[in-house]
Structure 1
């Protein structure tokens, strides 16, 4: 069995769609397109907590429910026994085909009352990586491949300074449990003229106050758009982009506008975002054809959207913005490190990149980069790379769960393919972003090649991943918007359980 899952920094559980789920028995628009997990086909799978122990929902109304189980899981060339994950026996996909998910957030936010080691903790606990840390490079919208690197940093994937920011504490719990930072300044450059939209916000818990101009945001690789408070959208975005209609759509010719957004995060680092990443084509979810906007233009979606208050004090900042960023998610130290993402030309042609392993403890990133190229500039957090001043959600270890986690080198690497070759046929995306017309499922495992990541002995394990495209309803009932999340290739071997 081989599967793909969305890699999601905004959630914490690993789960697969069950082969027995009613949704996965169909071949329609909302069927299971990333492959399915069949407990009957694994001699090593066992139930940890029966249904509905795993019960989760998402912002688009999609839900998944079922038991928690354990089996053998593999990422790249690493094989780990007794990894816990959810099996979605009931799947409700509201905005596109169903696909499993690997949550990479703090285990504090798992969809269960009994917290367990999730994937970042499993990799750390087994010694595959030194700390709960991973870095993400989504790549341009026109490309179909991005990367996630567990335990390390690829210095070829960004340009300029890599700047570390302390994560903002949760407004409700008061602790570090989600990847929250602030957008303190926003400006727009069009035809050589720069206009400040808002500026001078706080990079502290003061940003949660209504009187502060900064926007607290959750960096969420599982979301396509930047959800912005309605008041900010009305005051700053709508007047700046008058061609966006009431459905959030526009003519695709605006993708070529010489307009750039400049976002400053944490009052420390400014990132440039081109219109071609914010304005994306949409397709009819039935015919797979572009949706017309006028007689001569196709329709595109504008991926900055007005949103109702969440009740948590922040909104999500998704892939429309994140693909212009190289992001290091450092769970152990409660920090985010950001840089301008490299273009294809900047990133170079080496498939292995320039990977450095990050040691554990405060200052690990600084130590790792000191061994890299002298041209790499690093800016530590205001805390001078010392411990976060706010409490960080603790590591859940196998020992605390009386769980025997053992990592070994797999006989063959899972997920070495990149691009559309790594995706099961039913969920495959062509070069122009249109969903392939294939049956649901598919083995996704015919492509070979690639290095599958760095060696585990270096302390940095890289999962071979691709950027997949997922539909989401946008503006009209028969339209589909192609999202932009990272998707990892999974494999499940008979008698071996799940190999991710």
Structure 2
């Protein structure tokens, strides 16, 4: 989840002696979030069920806050850094309200929730709750949603790992009916953006887990598994070598270009290739190398418009001016085409994402909308997993992250990436042995290309040799015309001119 503002420099990390691992499992949501607590497997590993909430657009963990413990289900977010919980007294929790499930610009719509169905926090019922910042917690997201209230400390438990005096935000004034577990850089905390001071950060969850001896260094790994998977995993303090295939490549996190500090998990994206049975295309943009944020709190992925337009043309996506989103027929999930993302230059990791991860349902059953006219008339409409932004931050969200095993090393400012092993049933957890240790089994990429976001120069347009394969392999007539197309009852007229997209 990308918050509106980040600031500052440096990293506030404390040392700890013991090498340990905290593990949380990720499980697909069926009807209601799975609130069942799993037992501790061994002294140094803790396991927690985290649900894949498709309609809400994210991955959620059930936690406990306060004394006695109150259970809440919160979204796991590598793109922000605060834990915050909705107050039971907030208006969004006391009456029906829109779900707010589109944070980060996702555009996901999940209808209405009857209050805070994933839980809320009643501060009056916790004997260990202490307000440490009255009316100074404030966070907002790029789609305009927000949460405001107090900073407080209290007991916090996740996956059997118990921490005391954890700093959290209390959403008293919020339009989001569930909270977040932000695990990003401390300098990305909301209080830093608010105070504009590098001295403001507090010890957020991964830092405090290290200080309390649960993990040896400030690092964790993420395995979301595929879109329909029933299990997945996040490991604090370790890497599971059975959850990925091939070599683990390690690339540098890039400093924020505006602050000159490490505030987000920005890596350098240097290539994108479309592959299908009919051919391959190297997709081009003047903006290579592109700074992209690896953000688990964002459902979709957002690329520069110049690049996104080429992706849409490969798959025959349709742009709707009303929703400002690109859509495809749901049958495209059967396409044999893939998009290969490259990072840090020719020696860096390459992650392939197939169409099963990029075609997302927007409704179920009889509520699924259909194309009203055009070449897709009568076919079900699905949201496409790659959308566009016109400026930074560019984001690689869950539609990308499911295809990669990603290690976030906040101590060394590095990211490990490898091809995910979908639905792996094996496990081999290797803990980081000490504070500042390198990523286990990882190999640092040589001669890395840094992200600049403005390389300039001219680019050649692809031949779209892969386009036919993407569409015909899905049983769709590959006759997409960039002209007048009706989408969900709204007519969109647009044209390609040079390498840009212009709306009329």
After TM superposition, the score normalised by the length of structure 2 is: 0.66
Task: Show the counterpart of 1:266.
Answer: 344
SS at match of 2:144: coil
1:248 shift after superposition: 1.1
Task: Show the counterpart of 1:229.
Answer: 304
Task: Show the counterpart of 1:193.
Answer: 279
Matched, 1:26 2:95: yes
Deviations 1:296-332 (A, max 9, x none): 532100121121213xxx4111111111010000000
Separation of aligned partners in 1, 2:340 and 2:81: 30
When residues 151 and 47 of structure 1 are mapped into structure 2, their CA distance, relative to the original with a 3 A threshold, is same
The correspondence for 2:294, drawn from 219, 244, 252, is: 219
Check the 8 A contact 1:139/1:341 in 2, yes or no.
yes
SS at match of 1:245: strand
The correspondence for 1:8, drawn from 77, 89, 112, is: 77
Separation of aligned partners in 2, 1:293 and 1:54: 44
Gapped regions of structure 1 (runs ≥ 5) = 200-210, 370-377, 389-474, 478-500
SS at match of 1:339: strand
When residues 476 and 123 of structure 1 are mapped into structure 2, their CA distance, relative to the original with a 3 A threshold, is farther
1:146 shift after superposition: 2.5
Separation of aligned partners in 1, 2:186 and 2:241: 28
1:33 shift after superposition: 2.7
Task: Show the counterpart of 1:123.
Answer: 209
1:455-494 matches, cutoff 5 A? none
Separation of aligned partners in 2, 1:476 and 1:14: 38
1:407-418 matches, cutoff 5 A? none
Task: Show the counterpart of 2:314.
Answer: 240
1:414-433 matches, cutoff 5 A? none
Separation of aligned partners in 1, 2:435 and 2:343: 24
Separation of aligned partners in 2, 1:339 and 1:240: 25
The correspondence for 2:269, drawn from 183, 193, 217, is: 183
1:150 shift after superposition: 0.4
SS at match of 1:233: helix
Task: Show the counterpart of 1:59.
Answer: 142
Check the 8 A contact 1:281/1:298 in 2, yes or no.
no
Matched, 1:40 2:124: yes
Separation of aligned partners in 1, 2:260 and 2:180: 27
1:167 shift after superposition: 0.7
Separation of aligned partners in 2, 1:174 and 1:242: 39
Check the 8 A contact 1:186/1:263 in 2, yes or no.
yes
Deviations 1:41-82 (A, max 9, x none): 11111111111x110001221100010111111121221111
Matched, 1:75 2:158: yes
The count of aligned residue pairs is 352
Deviates more, 1:292-301 or 1:59-68: 292-301
The correspondence for 1:277, drawn from 351, 357, 368, is: 357
When residues 192 and 239 of structure 1 are mapped into structure 2, their CA distance, relative to the original with a 3 A threshold, is closer
1:237 shift after superposition: 1.9
Task: Show the counterpart of 1:354.
Answer: 428
Check the 8 A contact 1:250/1:293 in 2, yes or no.
no
Check the 8 A contact 1:181/1:216 in 2, yes or no.
yes
The correspondence for 2:382, drawn from 279, 282, 300, is: 300
Task: Show the counterpart of 1:309.
Answer: 391
SS at match of 2:256: coil
Deviations 1:438-481 (A, max 9, x none): xxxxxxxxxxxxxxxxxxxxxxxxxxxxxxxxxxxxx979xxxx
1:28 shift after superposition: 4.4
Matched, 1:167 2:249: no
SS at match of 2:318: coil
Check the 8 A contact 1:282/1:300 in 2, yes or no.
yes
Deviations 1:79-106 (A, max 9, x none): 111111001011113xxxx211011111
Gapped regions of structure 2 (runs ≥ 5) = 1-69, 100-114, 451-486, 490-504
Deviates more, 1:221-230 or 1:241-250: 241-250
Separation of aligned partners in 1, 2:437 and 2:397: 27
SS at match of 1:283: coil
SS at match of 1:175: coil
Task: Show the counterpart of 1:337.
Answer: 416
Separation of aligned partners in 1, 2:278 and 2:311: 18
Check the 8 A contact 1:16/1:100 in 2, yes or no.
yes
Separation of aligned partners in 2, 1:67 and 1:109: 18
Check the 8 A contact 1:179/1:219 in 2, yes or no.
yes
1:165 shift after superposition: 0.5
1:173 shift after superposition: 1.6
The correspondence for 1:380, drawn from 444, 451, 454, is: 444
When residues 107 and 383 of structure 1 are mapped into structure 2, their CA distance, relative to the original with a 3 A threshold, is farther
